[in-house]
Amino acid sequence: MDGEFVDCEDAKINILSHVVHYGTGFFEGIRAYKTEKGGAIFRLKEHTNRLYDSAKIYRTEIPYTKEEFNQAIIDTLKINNLEEGYIRPLIYRGYNKLGVNPFTCPVQAMIAAWKWGKYLGEEAMKDGVSVKISSWRRLAPNTMPTMAKASGNYLSSQLIKMEALVDGYEEGIALDYNGYVSEGSGENIFIIKNNIIYTPAMSGSALPGITRDAIVTVARDLGYDVREEGVPREMLYIADEIFLTGTAAEITPVSRVDKIKIGAGERGPITEKIQTKFFSIVEGREEDKYNWLTYIK
């Protein structure tokens, strides 16, 4: 926290901190995986870049260099004796005085790390999850920037998630302002139809996911035609396979959309192939040809 290691119980902030009242935070979710050469962080550089980009969009200068920040992330894993787990860095506006204007409040930083299993459940990785199209749309352009991974954006995610859970689904998929598919409450989405892989374009108000980028790269390398474009809602219903991607969710298949069975209603063959490839890369079981791993030691 702000350059020091403190126990979680002692990591306290003033209740009048700007972030508490106005959602003034920018965060990342990063995973580390156990490999034969010890723990390795997946795409650390890209996560730090996105964190600094999120802050920049909100005219916020992070008082550390990216190199210092990366080192602090590595040190947080080390001090917690974690070879694998989830890392949560957060930049936030602290306490000076309240009022919407954030400029007077200090820019503060924290990094935490813990073990986090499968986001949507162990069985979901094979059986898939049942999702609903949310009645909530993702943020419209020119309202709030979705390229920033900002704390306040997650109120939108919470509405999508709560509605899905209350209605008996495991996840919600939001459409964008124009009615095209955007993303899940905390995941990007991929749709496969006739061997072509589609994912909503950046104009679809989704977070530019780092896992999304990894999957686009890996799938193209495997020879698939991957298209980033507007995806109509009904493409989901007639898809052969669908999967969600995210740091927490990794690659989670979708079995049903609005109760309509997708393919065989479980993980499809292309999803399995990509999932297998992904885990083989992140767990260091094959050559790190994209330079995505940062070893902790």
The catalytic site residues sit at 149
The piece of 54-62, 68-76, 185-193, 197-205 that touches ligand PPE (CB under 6 A) is: 185-193
As a whole number of angstroms, the distance between CA 296 and CA 19 comes to: 31
In this complex, which beta carbon is closest to ligand PPE, that of residue 98 or of residue 165? 165
94 binds ligand PPE (CB under 6 A): no
For tokens 């986001």, name the residue.
Answer: 119
What is the secondary structure of 23-68 as a DSSP string?
Answer: --EEE--EEEEEETTEEEEETHHHHHHHHHHHHHHTT---SS-HHH
84 binds ligand PPE (CB under 6 A): no
164 binds ligand PPE (CB under 6 A): no
Give the residue, chosen from 24, 157, 275, 294, that forms a contact with ligand PPE under the rule CB under 6 A.
157
In this complex, which beta carbon is closest to ligand PPE, that of residue 105 or of residue 199? 199
Query: CA angle, 102 as apex, 101 and 107 as ends, to 5°?
Result: 165
212 binds ligand PPE (CB under 6 A): yes
Give the residue, chosen from 188, 199, 271, 294, that forms a contact with ligand PPE under the rule CB under 6 A.
188
Q: What are phi and psi of 292, to 5 degrees?
A: -100, -10
Q: Which of 273, 255, 254, 191 is nearest to 228 (CA)?
A: 191
183 binds ligand PPE (CB under 6 A): yes
In this complex, which beta carbon is closest to ligand PPE, that of residue 25 or of residue 29? 29
130 binds ligand PPE (CB under 6 A): no
Give me the least distance between CB of 87 and ligand PPE, in Å please: 9
As a whole number of angstroms, the distance between CA 10 and CA 74 comes to: 21
199 forms bridges with which residues in the sheet?
228
Q: Which residues bind ligand PPE (CB under 6 A)?
A: 29, 157, 183, 186-188, 206-207, 209-212, 245-249
